[in-house]
């Protein structure tokens, strides 16, 4: 029998408030219409959700894993997919029925793309985040190498991930400007039509890139909520209170195996203080008295890994479960 009320869900359960979700979709579609946004599906790993983004006018998508690229193409969402990550075996990508572009930043990743049958690449440039990407001054030579292997170079990408989560907007602006100066220098050497960058925290700051790779905006988390962005907290984890203490704390059945914790502790909807998050439990001081059997909503600090822990997300309004979507892009 289909679940129709959130009280019938097996907890911990991932729930998405439909009104907040719709607000986020429409707000971003107005701010970055059409190809100005290349939504990052790593934030939600769900083709049903990606289809809603498509319906809002966003036809191009960013992926983090080969599995995400494959799943998007299988769902008929492969019009223009960017794997914004280096791979050393691209053989699965060359077999995908869809347009696939891959980020490259070295001789080895260029050779892997060519060998795997990939036709198009972006030169990934390190713009300050200590992760992937070539030095800006090496981007032109890598583009020449890629073209010599028969690859079409669409342009450049660079992620100012060290800026997107900064609370101070002016500092976020300054670091983004510095990062994009490096990316634009690289683009002058590389050429191509695409300058891809950005995230939810810089979606309205980064005016240098012609496509923004924001993803978290659609569901949101408490880390991004601190930045005063015009997006609402749509996602929470529904949990059940399983124990209370005379000393004032309570325990719910939602722990490290259901919450992404790399950005800090989650928040409790309605107030309260989270004390401990362990494997299967969250221990908290309630904002209001709770009893065993009560439901609470827990808002994660980082949406992306939180979603990846769950097999389904439940779309709700006023306590009613309207739809259940499979998180079908999980895994690698």
> In terms of domains, do 211 and 242 share one?
no
- Kindly state whether residue 223 falls inside one of the protein's structural domains: no
Q: Based on the fold, state whether residues 98 and 193 are members of the same structural domain.
A: yes
User: From residue 158, how far is each of 1, 79, 309 by CA, in Å?
Assistant: 47, 22, 28
Which DSSP letter does residue 37 get? Answer: B
Domain boundary among 190, 218, 246: 218
**312: domain CATH number?**
2.40.37.20
Domain boundary among 218, 239, 269: 218
Q: Is residue 105 domain-shared with residue 187, that is, in the same domain?
A: yes
State the pLDDT confidence band at 3, using cuts at 50, 70 and 90: confident
My answer on whether 76 and 133 are in the same domain is yes
pLDDT digits (tens, 9 = 90+) for 267-296: 999 999 999 999 999 999 999 999 999 999
Tell me which of 332 and 185 has the higher pLDDT.
185
Helix (H/G/I), strand (E/B), else coil: 202: helix
The predicted-structure confidence for 216-267, as pLDDT tens digits, reads as follows: 999 999 999 999 999 999 999 999 999 999 999 999 999 999 999 999 999 9
Q: What is the pTM of this model?
A: 0.96
In a domain, 71, yes or no: yes
pLDDT digits (tens, 9 = 90+) for 289-327: 999 999 999 999 999 999 999 999 999 999 999 999 999
pLDDT above 90: residue 328? yes
Q: What pLDDT sits at residue 304?
A: 97
Q: Are residues 265 and 280 in the same domain?
A: yes
Q: Is the pLDDT of residue 74 over 90?
A: yes
Does 1 reside within a domain?
Answer: no
Q: What is the pLDDT of residue 178?
A: 98
Q: Are residues 248 and 202 in the same domain?
A: no
End residue of a domain, out of 186, 218, 250 = 218
Report how many domains make up the chain: 2
98-to-39, 61, 305 alpha-carbon distances in Å: 17, 12, 27
| Same structural domain, 40 and 167 | yes
* CATH code of the domain containing 183: 3.20.20.10
pLDDT digits (tens, 9 = 90+) for 26-70: 999 999 999 999 999 999 999 999 999 999 999 999 999 999 999
| Containing structural domain, residue 116 | 18-218
For residue 115, give the 3-state DSSP assignment: helix
pLDDT at 1 over 60: no
User: Which residues have a Cβ under 8 Å from the Cβ of 292 and sit 6 or more positions away?
Assistant: 241, 242, 243, 244
Do 69 and 213 fall into the same domain? yes
pLDDT of residue 332 exceeding 90, the answer is: no
Q: What is the pLDDT of residues 126-168, one digit of tens each?
A: 999 999 999 999 999 999 999 999 999 999 999 999 999 999 9
Output the average pLDDT for the chain.
97
Considering the domain boundaries, does residue 245 fall inside one? Answer: yes
- 122 and 243: one domain? no
The 3 state secondary structure assigned to 70-112 is HHHHHCCCCCCEEECCCCCCCCCHHHCCCCEEEEECCHHHHHH
Q: What is the pLDDT of residues 143-153, one digit of tens each?
A: 999 999 999 99
pLDDT of residue 2: 75
163 and 294 in a common domain: no
Task: Kindly state whether residues 272 and 156 are assigned to the same domain.
Answer: no
Same domain, 104 and 24: yes
């Amino acid at each position: 029998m289909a679940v129709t009320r959130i009280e019938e869900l097996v907890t911990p359960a991932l729930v998405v408030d439909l009104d907040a979700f719709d607000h986020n979709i429409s707000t971003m579609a107005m701010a970055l219409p059409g190809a100005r946004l290349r939504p990052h599906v790593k934030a939600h790993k769900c083709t049903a959700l990606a289809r809603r983004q498509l319906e809002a006018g966003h036809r191009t998508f960013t992926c983090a894993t080969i599995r995400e690229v494959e799943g998007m193409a299988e769902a008929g969402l492969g019009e223009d997919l960017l794997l914004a990550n280096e791979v050393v075996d691209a053989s699965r990508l060359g077999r995908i029925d869809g347009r696939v572009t891959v980020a490259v930043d070295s001789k080895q990743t260029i050779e892997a793309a060519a060998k795997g049958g990939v036709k198009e690449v972006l030169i990934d440039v390190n713009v300050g985040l200590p992760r992937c990407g070539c030095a800006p001054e090496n981007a032109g030579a890598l583009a020449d190498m890629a073209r010599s292997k028969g690859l079409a170079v669409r342009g450049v990408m660079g992620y100012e991930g060290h800026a997107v989560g900064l609370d101070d907007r002016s500092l976020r602006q300054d670091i983004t400007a510095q990062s994009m100066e490096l990316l634009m220098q690289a683009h002058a050497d590389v050429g191509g039509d695409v300058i891809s960058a950005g995230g939810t925290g810089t979606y309205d700051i980064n005016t240098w890139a012609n496509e923004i790779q924001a993803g978290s905006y659609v569901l949101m988390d408490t880390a991004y909520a601190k930045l005063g962005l015009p997006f609402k907290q749509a996602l929470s984890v529904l949990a059940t209170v399983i124990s209370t203490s005379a000393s004032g704390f309570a325990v719910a059945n939602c722990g490290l195996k259901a919450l992404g914790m790399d950005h800090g502790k989650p928040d409790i909807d309605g107030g309260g203080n989270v004390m401990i998050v362990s494997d299967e439990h969250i221990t908290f001081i309630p904002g209001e008295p709770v009893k065993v059997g009560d439901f609470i909503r827990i808002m994660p600090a980082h949406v992306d890994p939180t979603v990846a822990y769950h097999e389904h997300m439940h779309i709700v309004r006023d306590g009613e479960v309207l739809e259940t979507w499979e998180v079908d892009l999980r895994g690698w």
